[in-house]
């Protein structure tokens, strides 16, 4: 049972553009929503995370938008750079269990 649905599967953006990746969840017990970045041959690295008590969180070029009523959240990468080319995963956790449910991933390619 896929509890976190992620789209698109792949995304190609020009350098300087905005990359947007979307996720939707089903389990209303989820209360922690991180985004991870993964390069080939590496483990996932935490980018940014949000809790449902805020609708937006920004860290540098990365912003999470969160819509609790729609059970959706998204990652925006501003001024995308070729070095941002990687696979991005959304995830969710409930009650600080630290047992993440991941989306299926989005392969981002930023063209120079």
Note the residues at the interface with other proteins (CB under 8 A).
6, 32, 34, 36, 41-46, 49, 89, 91, 93, 96-105
Q: Which residue carries 């947007």 as its tokens?
A: 20
CB 66 within 8 A of CB 10: no
CB of 47 to other proteins, least distance (A): 11
Residues 6+ apart with CB under 8 A from 13: 19, 80, 108, 109, 110, 111
Nearest-angstrom CA–CA distance, 23 and 8: 9
CB of 44 to other proteins, least distance (A): 5
CB of 84 to other proteins, least distance (A): 19
Shorter beta-carbon distance to other proteins: residue 4 or 110: 4
Shorter beta-carbon distance to other proteins: residue 17 or 102: 102
């Amino acid at each position: 049972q896929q509890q976190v649905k992620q789209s698109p599967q792949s995304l190609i953006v020009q350098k300087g553009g905005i990359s947007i990746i979307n996720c939707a969840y089903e389990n209303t017990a989820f209360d922690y929503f991180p985004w991870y970045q993964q390069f080939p041959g590496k483990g996932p690295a935490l980018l940014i995370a949000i809790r449902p008590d805020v609708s937006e969180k920004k860290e540098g070029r990365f912003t999470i938008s969160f819509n609790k009523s729609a059970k959706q959240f998204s990652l925006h990468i501003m001024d995308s750079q070729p070095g941002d080319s990687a696979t991005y995963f959304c995830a969710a956790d409930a009650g600080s269990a630290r047992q993440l449910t991941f989306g299926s991933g989005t392969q981002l390619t930023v063209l120079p």
